[in-house]
Amino acid sequence: MRKLILSGVTLSLAAQLATAQIKLPSPSPGATLTQTVGTTDFTVKYSRPSLKGRTPFTDAFVPTGKVWRTGANQATAFTTSTDVMVNGKNLPAGTYAVLSMPAMDNWMLIFSKNLTVTEQSYKETDDALRVSLKPEMLAQSVETFTINFSDLTDSTASLNIMLGKVNAKADLMVNTSQYAGANVDKAAADKPDDAAVLQAAASYNLSKGRNLDQAMEWINKSVAGKETFRNLYVKSQILAKMGKVSEALPVAKQALALGQSSNDATFPFFKDGIEKSITDYTAMMPAMPAVKGKKKAKK
């Protein structure tokens, strides 16, 4: 009888805690991971079970060859702000539930459009994308399930899914040049009279060798709006890249003189670069033909 009473009290207490929504420790705590690659933002929201003496990828814990929510509690969520290539296959921008089918020689990584999917409710027809991963063996065992990003460049990254001594890695690639260029064009169009924005847009095109005529148009408007040593220096570099060294040289000299006379605290960081450009442009100038002296008339 006493056991029945205690069971009733326990169930009642659990019901009260659930109703009151009291935050309690979770055996698989939640985590949110964000990573920017180029201009693309990735977010992963997942729960992190620990081994606690168990061996993963066995029938007892995370069985192989079966759909797994790739974490614990609710399905792992993956958000990408732009389209991304996952192992060479396109995944449109959006939020997806991440499922997987672990195996020691080949994992299947699944991005599902059903954000509330579970192992029991999973349907292949809801797949947005599925790719094969080649798992790697780790030297050190990972006690708590971990998802992270590594090997970052401005357009690529690795998405790592790790538990025990296994790392299933996916290669991510985004078209940063396309998205960055679109952002630059939009910013210049939205603020056509903002000297700083136009200078930044021109600088980007200069750095990528992209549409130098447009870059020159932007930097000329920036200089016309507010002349600074920075936008003059950018203009000189664009002219030089267009092969117009004779025009670039006086503009670079003007940038140096303006910077030296200004009280801009950032000028010392630019000074050496401007002076080097002046030296380079001077060396690139065509040599002037020597002036021949008149011969003396013979008596």
Query: Beta strands 84-86 and 89-91: pairing type?
Result: antiparallel
In the chain, the number of structural domains is 2
Assess whether 185 and 164 both reside in one domain. no
Quick: pLDDT tens for 100-131.
999 888 999 999 999 999 999 999 999 999 99
Residue 5 scores a pLDDT above 50: no
The answer to whether residues 238 and 264 belong to one domain is: yes
pLDDT the model gives residue 4: 44
Co-location of 225 and 89 in the same domain? no
The answer to whether residues 166 and 260 belong to one domain is no
pLDDT digits (tens, 9 = 90+) for 148-190: 999 999 999 999 999 999 999 999 999 999 999 999 999 999 9
Residue 287's Cα: distance from chain center in Å?
47
Output the pTM of the full model.
0.76
Domain boundaries, position 247? 176-284
Looking up residue 252, the CATH number of its domain turns out to be 1.25.40.10
In terms of domains, do 215 and 249 share one? yes
Same domain, 220 and 193: yes
Average per-residue pLDDT for the chain: 90
Asked if 78 and 88 touch (Cβ cutoff 8 Å), the reply is no
Q: Within a domain: residue 147?
A: yes
Q: How confident is the model over 11-34, as pLDDT tens digits?
A: 565 556 555 677 777 788 899 999
Higher pLDDT, 215 or 287: 215
Same domain, 189 and 248: yes
- Long-range own/partner contacts, residues 230-233 (CB < 8 A, 24 or more apart): 230/199, 230/255, 230/270, 231/195, 231/198, 231/199, 231/202, 232/258, 233/270, 233/273, 233/274, 233/277
pLDDT given at position 3:
46
Question: At which of 156, 173, 190 does a domain end?
Answer: 173
Contacts of 121 (CB under 8 A, 6+ apart): 114
Q: Which tens digits make up the pLDDT trace of 47-92? A: 999 999 998 988 888 888 899 999 998 889 999 999 999 999 999 9
Asked if residue 296 has pLDDT above 60, the reply is no
- Tell me: do 48 and 164 sit in the same domain: yes
**Of 139, 173, 207, which residue is a domain's last?**
173
Nearest-angstrom CA–CA distance, 161 and 155: 20
